A and B are shown apart, each in its own frame.
Chain A
Amino acid sequence: MENIIKIENLNFYYGNFLALKNINMDIYKNKITAFIGPSGCGKSTLLRTLNRMNDFIENIKVEGNIYFKGQNIYSKEVDPVELRRRIGMVFQKPNPFPKTIYENIVYGLRKNGVNKKEILDEVVERTLKAVALYDEVKDKIYKSALELSGGQQQRLCIARAIAMQPEVVLMDEPTSALDPISTLKIEELLLELKKDYTIIIVTHSMQQAARISDWTAFFLNGELIEYDTTENIFENPRDKRTEDYITGRFG
């Protein structure tokens, strides 16, 4: 199995607070990896170290190494802007720009100098189809994205992320603000997308992790307690704490 990201001895500090403690793990290509654990255990923090979105927070410190396709992403040669083009992100709350659906999708491309109409048109159609939104919105592509429902907005945000053709897509509880039907649609979508992308998803819902992910990592207080195939985590967890958490016996 090919790993696309390798995390080595990672410590992460907010000021003096150690939020991630000596994390070691590999993320496998074209798989869905789920991060689970009680809130505050560091899932989002870890996710955001992978595309360096934590760089915007003052007083942070990163120790250890994260390799993306063999290159250390915290080394001086790596431009975080370039990195974020290759590792996309979808946020917890849908955050479409107050622009048209079309402009939302092509935003990243335009900012990277792609302006040819034929190319942009093609990307809009392809990504909307990829997120199963095309039929619902094909008549209002030039209308404001804010007119869409929450579930549609989140699928648009996924379309916007994959328009950049990233290799990895990070998702931070992408369905926690959505109704069950929209959630289901997005889950189906992710299973479809993993053919082309590597997906890392933070989720609050263990059912969701069990339904869609190939690998599951369980975190507690900034530590990676157990990381294994989803099947093993849910059927035979090795650590007592993992078992307590997935059986809901966690206090």
Chain B
Amino acid sequence: MDITKRRKFKNRIFHVLTFLCTLFGVIILSVLLFSILSKGIKWLSLNFLTNFPSRFPKKAGIYPALLGSLWLIFLTAIISFPIGIGTALYLEEYAKESKFTDFIKLNIANLAGVPAIIYGMLGLTIFVRLLGFGRSIISGALTMSLLILPTIIISSQEALKSVPDSLKQASYALGTTKWQTITGVVLPYALPGILTGTILSISRALGEAAPLIVVGAFAYVSFIPKTPFDQFTVLPIQIFNWASMPKKEFQNVAAAGIIVLLIILLGINSIAIILRNKYQIRIKD
């Protein structure tokens, strides 16, 4: 009797505690969102999106940073997506079990935990200097690709692992080659999972500033990037730049920039969710 009571009491305590933890997160997030929205919303306008940065808060716009970010995630996506999926396919479908593949798998997991700034250093050494791409979008995109590749590979591997063996067997039994089975059954089945993982990593690339600062994105850019080899800035750097300005009004401009960044991030994440729900395939047991 006594034990049951005590157990129930303990259970309640943990219930309340975990609820408080959740509440804590939600409150902090709401306060943050509220403060940003209240500061920035008035500054949002079409002009803000199409203007160049300026010394005058009223005139300041986010256009080059917005384009820079779009360029960056576009290039990062087309670089990292095929390499990431290719690697995952190799590891899950082709590589024989061996110490070497185990070693590679383990190290991909380790790479996913390496701080972003280290990737920045690597990008600076290899892409900016060694390959001579300079402080350009392509250097930034290559660096970002390195940064998110481990996550893409791991989430693609998970998606590939979830493909039921019975489907692969069904495909092989119809006289198909390995590649035909991969394109016919494995990839269609795993694609929603692969895309979700990839899109979420891309949204991570969108929010990162540190490695790009190292690679040499500019804090102030007064032109539009036209090719991958142009100089550039991105939203987080532009926002950081405004936030560190002495003029008080720039805090509000920064907040407006944050809102733009958040909207893009939310947009990307919704695409991921829609894709997942739309193509999620339920296999009856």
Chain A positions within 8 Å of B, measured between CB atoms, are: 51, 53, 56, 58, 81-86, 88-89, 91, 93, 95-99, 107-108, 111-112, 146, 157, 160-161, 164
Contacts and interface: CB of A to CB of B under 8 A. Distances in A.
Given A98-B189, A164-B174, A164-B175, 16 more contacts: A56-B172, A58-B97, A81-B175, A84-B173, A88-B173, A88-B174, A91-B170, A91-B173, A95-B166, A95-B167, A95-B169, A107-B174, A111-B176, A111-B184, A160-B170, A161-B173
A97 B176 CA distance: 14
B203 interface: no
Contacts of A108: 174-176
B45 interface: no
A58 B282 CA distance: 30
B284 interface: yes
Contacts of A53: 169, 172-173
B177 interface: yes
B174 A160 contact: yes
List 7 A-B pairs, minimum CB-CB distance, nearest first. A85-B175, A108-B174, A89-B173, A95-B166, A98-B281, A84-B175, A95-B170
B275 interface: no
A146 B172 contact: no
A146 B175 CA distance: 22
B162 interface: no
A84 B282 contact: no
Contact of A97 (B96, B180, B185, B282): B185
Interface residues of B, number: 23
Contacts of A81: 175-177
A79 B4 CA distance: 67
B175 A82 contact: yes
13 contacts: A56-B172, A81-B175, A85-B174, A85-B175, A86-B175, A95-B166, A97-B185, A98-B188, A98-B283, A107-B171, A108-B175, A111-B171, A111-B176
Nearest to A146: B284
A224 B173 CA distance: 25
A166 to B, nearest CB: 8
Contacts of A58: 96-97
B145 to A, nearest CB: 31
Contacts of B166: 91, 93, 95
Contacts of A111: 171, 174-176, 180, 184
B234 to A, nearest CB: 39
A146 B164 CA distance: 14
A91 B169 contact: yes
Nearest to B183: A111
A111 B97 CA distance: 28
Nearest to B180: A111
Contact of B170 (A56, A97, A146): A97
Nearest to B284: A146
A93 B165 CA distance: 12
B281 A157 contact: no
Contacts of B180: 111
Contacts of A56: 169, 172
A93 B166 CA distance: 8
Contacts of A86: 175
Contacts of B185: 97
Interface string B256-271: 0000000000000000
Contacts of B171: 97, 107, 111
A157 B284 contact: no
Nearest to A56: B172
Contacts of B189: 98
A85 B169 CA distance: 13
- From A86, A91, A108, A157, residue with most partner B Cβ within 10 Å: A108
Contact of B282 (A96, A107, A146): A146
B175 A97 contact: no
A142 to B, nearest CB: 16
Contacts of B173: 51, 53, 84, 88-89, 91, 161
Nearest to A109: B174
Contacts of A89: 173
